[in-house]
């Protein structure tokens, strides 16, 4: 059995983003590449405490923009929602193309350094990581602290982490018959070595009561195995609904089946190693961007190990919001209700008129729309390509994912201000539960960056 405990790394200074709350199979590294926490492979994960929380699923739809008064709002709506003519070669499109190539060049240069400047990487990545070349996969691993800043340590760190994942997978995902057969082979091999010169009668392997499939004992391997049957079925159902418009996830091709199987392994391992939270519907949506980015890495070795790398980074990104998944902590200072309240406070600081209209005139509380925004990291509100762009900014924030997430949620409200001010309860609720998919995401993220911070402290204690 596994022994000991493994912890998430706690980044220091401005990088203290991911609290030490989730069980993780990887040890962390500091900025010099030294290991923080963790221990040898074959050690036990510390489970999260406590609870679980259900999620609802919604689709996208909607409209609108930001401004100071109704006339300005309408003008700003057009500015935010306008789309460039893809067929026209204009100075703007040329500048954008040059900007992307310059950004790609800057990122490639930064990622090729022996010592990565994480602050510079954060600045570049926050403006959007160009597609292709595996830049996003490498940058996300660095931003999440999965890779150390020292380039020379990457290979060693990846090998160790991937081996720990393989050990954990063997420990928790093999069914009991496979465990028993493996133990029998090891026992037989050792016995054969001891008695190699002695002939004797054939001995039948004895199966203990706890190893029997019909055993009802709590310590029984089979009893524990059957406990997760319902979880596996729920994960399978959710994975079938994950981005049904994308062949990467959906359909019956060998590629989509392989990807769903890998994602199922990750989610089931998380559930088994964190029994107090287990699997919560919607976690598949949080995992999808990570697994997609790592699986499509142009480095073949990295792509082959996407499952192991995705598990570790999935655990890390949940580490910044683990209390949102604990029903028992809903009313605590770190629970989801407190976070929703901080979003309301943030809106009040930045636009008291809109805040008053939502809170008192139409009574559209954040619980009605932002619960899903926050818990699922906006993965249900935008198209997949837009989600990846938003996550570049989320993961690049030196003060943590939750800090930038609340800013973006507030910006989402500001960017549909004129329509919200003219809407009633039903219209506003529909708009915010089906957020417009034609909003200019770069403008939205710029609004989020410019938002005045809430005067209250809403960082998780580390």
Q: Sign of the C-alpha dihedral, residues 295, 301, 304, 307?
A: negative
What residues form DSSP beta bridges with 35? 29
- Taking only the tens of pLDDT, the chain with its 462 residues reads 444 433 334 334 333 344 334 443 343 444 444 444 443 333 344 444 433 333 333 334 444 443 444 455 555 454 444 444 434 444 445 555 568 889 999 999 999 999 999 999 999 999 999 998 899 999 999 999 999 999 999 999 999 999 999 999 999 887 655 544 454 455 555 555 555 555 555 444 455 555 545 445 555 555 666 677 889 999 999 999 999 999 999 999 999 999 999 999 999 999 999 888 889 989 999 999 999 999 999 999 999 999 999 999 999 999 877 666 666 666 666 678 999 999 999 999 999 999 999 999 999 999 999 999 999 999 999 999 999 999 999 999 999 999 999 999 999 999 999 999 999 999 999 999 999 988 999 999 999 999 977 544 434 332
Q: Would you state the pLDDT for residue 274? A: 87
Residue 90's φ and ψ, nearest 5 degrees, are -115, 165
Q: How much is the pLDDT for 194? A: 54
Predicted local distance difference test score (pLDDT) of residue 196: 52
What pLDDT, on the 0 to 100 scale, is given for residue 210?
52
Nearest in space to 64 (alpha carbons), one of 430, 449, 452, 450: 430
C-alpha count within 13 angstroms, C-beta hemisphere, residue 114? 1
Contacts of 205 by beta carbon, 8 Å cutoff, 6+ apart: 184, 187, 188
What's the CA dihedral at 409, 412, 418, 420 to 10 degrees? -50
pLDDT of residue 332: 63
User: Do residues 412 and 444 make contact, with C-beta atoms less than 8 angstroms apart?
Assistant: yes
Whole-number Å distance between alpha carbons of 440 and 416: 12
The CA dihedral of 113, 118, 122, 128, to the nearest 10 degrees, is: 30
Q: Which residues are paired to 28 by β-bridges?
A: 36
Distance CA 182, CA 15 (A): 43
pTM: 0.74
Phi and psi, residue 345, nearest 5°: -65, -40
Q: What is the CA radius of gyration of the chain?
A: 25
CA separation for the pair 330, 328 (Å, rounded) = 6
């Amino acid at each position: 059995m596994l022994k000991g405990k493994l912890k998430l790394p706690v980044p220091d200074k401005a990088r203290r983003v991911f609290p030490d709350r989730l069980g993780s199979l990887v040890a962390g590294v500091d900025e010099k590449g030294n290991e923080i926490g963790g221990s040898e492979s074959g050690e036990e994960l510390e489970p999260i405490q406590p609870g679980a929380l259900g999620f609802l699923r919604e689709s996208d739809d909607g409209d609108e923009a930001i401004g100071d008064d109704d006339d300005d709002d309408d003008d700003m709506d057009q500015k935010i929602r306008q789309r460039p003519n893809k067929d026209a070669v204009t100075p703007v499109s040329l500048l954008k193309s040059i900007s992307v190539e310059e950004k790609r060049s800057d990122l490639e240069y930064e990622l090729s350094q022996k010592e990565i400047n994480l602050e510079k990487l954060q600045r570049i990545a926050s403006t959007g990581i160009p597609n292709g070349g595996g830049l996003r996969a490498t940058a996300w691993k660095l931003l999440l602290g999965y890779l150390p800043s020292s380039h020379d340590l990457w290979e060693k760190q990846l090998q160790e982490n991937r081996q720990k994942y393989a050990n954990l997978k063997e420990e928790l995902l093999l069914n009991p018959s496979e465990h028993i057969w493996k133990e029998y082979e090891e026992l037989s091999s050792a016995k054969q070595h001891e008695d190699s010169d002695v002939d004797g009668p054939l001995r039948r392997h004895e199966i203990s009561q706890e190893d029997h499939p019909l055993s009802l004992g709590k310590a029984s391997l089979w009893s524990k195995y059957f406990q997760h049957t319902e979880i596996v079925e729920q994960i399978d159902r959710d994975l079938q609904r994950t981005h049904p418009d994308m062949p990467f996830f959906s359909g019956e091709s060998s590629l989509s089946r392989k990807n769903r199987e890998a994602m199922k392994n990750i989610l089931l391992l998380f559930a088994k190693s964190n029994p107090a939270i287990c699997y919560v519907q919607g976690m598949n949506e949080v995992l999808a961007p990570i697994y997609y980015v790592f699986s499509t890495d142009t480095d073949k070795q990295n792509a082959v190990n996407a499952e192991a790398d995705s598990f570790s980074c999935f655990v890390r990104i949940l580490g910044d919001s683990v209390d949102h998944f604990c029903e028992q902590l809903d009313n605590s200072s770190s629970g989801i209700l407190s976070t929703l309240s901080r979003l309301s406070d943030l809106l009040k600081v930045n636009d008291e008129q809109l805040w008053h209209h939502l809170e008192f005139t139409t009574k559209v509380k954040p619980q009605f729309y932002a619960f899903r925004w926050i818990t699922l990291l906006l993965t249900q509100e935008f198209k997949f390509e837009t989600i990846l762009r938003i996550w570049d900014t989320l993961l690049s924030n030196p003060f943590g994912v939750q800090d930038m997430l609340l800013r973006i949620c507030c910006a989402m409200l500001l960017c549909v201000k004129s329509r919200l001010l003219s809407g009633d309860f039903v219209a506003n609720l529909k708009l915010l539960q089906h957020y417009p998919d034609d909003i200019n995401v770069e403008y939205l993220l710029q609004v989020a960056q410019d938002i005045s911070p809430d005067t209250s402290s809403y960082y998780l204690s580390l």
